[in-house]
A = this chain, B = another copy of it.
């Protein structure tokens, strides 16, 4: 049973509409609040060789990326830390604080516990004007689809391309880009944490149109042979770029490095160079 199958099961208990986006959306005066929570464990989420400062940075970056994907501005972060060794806490908290500071957020609370395996859950809150909120649902017939930067860099680092280690270990959530895109009127958006192919299929699941990607248009990780780079860009996990649909007329978008990689099509399928794109990538799997 994979993570998405479990999500479907949850949809029988929780309103499935609540599960369609990277963040929950909550009324907050004249604004909307968005909230996201992410659980990370040492063995599955933190690459070997990561410093504790980078662990803290990463834990915050994942939740800020979710907030960015809604077009929202991050505000507060809560951090629950299950610590295997207490002496790790200081560097982890410094990394978390520095990531918050870099993107205009603040750590406002948390919880602390002992745990055999280091486990961090970061919860992020942000705000957005209702007219600038972007959801995963919203793709329109004549939209193109685009991403905010190179894909597959994190996976390239895992494959041994050391020039991409910084993208793997100190990912930069696209916070400023998300805000600009929300105001620019993009129609749907999400972040690509589990790879482009899976993200396109996730987008497909909540929209009534499909997507046709041209792999020649994918921004690839530098310094990797082209065939391998394309594979990494399609299926590699760990990227923090935003994937969005938008009318062609809004490009170029000042302040955002936007790469158009394909277009919306009437059929509810995901195609790459005219052929169905496999729904695979980075998924948590249980043997059970």
Q: A39-B113, A41-B115, A93-B10 are in contact. Are A121 and B80 (CB under 8 A)?
A: yes
A108 at the A/B interface (Cβ < 8 Å)? yes
Q: Are A288's CB and B86's CB within 8 A?
A: yes
- Chain B residues, Cβ within 8 Å of A227: none
Per DSSP, chain A at the interface is: strand
Are the CB atoms of B109 and A6 closer together than 8 Å? no
Docked pose: A10 CA to B89 CA in angstroms? 8
A13 near B90 with CB under 8 A, answer: yes
- A275 in the interface, Cβ–Cβ < 8 Å? no
Q: How many residues from A make CB contacts under 8 Å with B? A: 61
Is the Cβ of A78 less than 8 Å from the Cβ of B123? Answer: yes
Kindly list chain B residues whose C-beta atoms are within 8 Å of the C-beta of A37: 78-80, 109-111, 121, 123
Interface residues of A in 13-43 (CB under 8 A from B): 13-14, 18-19, 23-24, 26, 28-31, 33, 35-41
Distance A229 CA – B23 CA, assembled complex (angstroms): 46
Residue on B nearest A18 in the bound complex, by CB? B108
Question: A268 CA to B268 CA in the complex, in Å?
Answer: 68
A221 surroundings in chain B (CB, below 8 A): none
Number of copies of chain A assembled together: 2
* Interface flag for A194 (CB, 8 Å): no
What is the bound-complex CA distance between A269 and B13, given in angstroms? Answer: 48
Q: Does A55 touch B at the CB level, under 8 Å? A: no
Question: Out of B7, B33, B80, B116, which one reaches A117, CB within 8 Å?
Answer: B116
Contacts of A125 in B (CB 8 A): 26, 33, 35, 125
Ordered nearest first, which 5 A-B pairs have the shortest CB separation?
A29-B29, A24-B108, A24-B109, A121-B121, A39-B80
Interface residues of A (CB under 8 A from B): 1, 3, 6-7, 9-10, 13-14, 18-19, 23-24, 26, 28-31, 33, 35-41, 44, 75-76, 78-83, 85-87, 89-90, 93-94, 97, 107-117, 119, 121, 123, 125, 284-286, 288
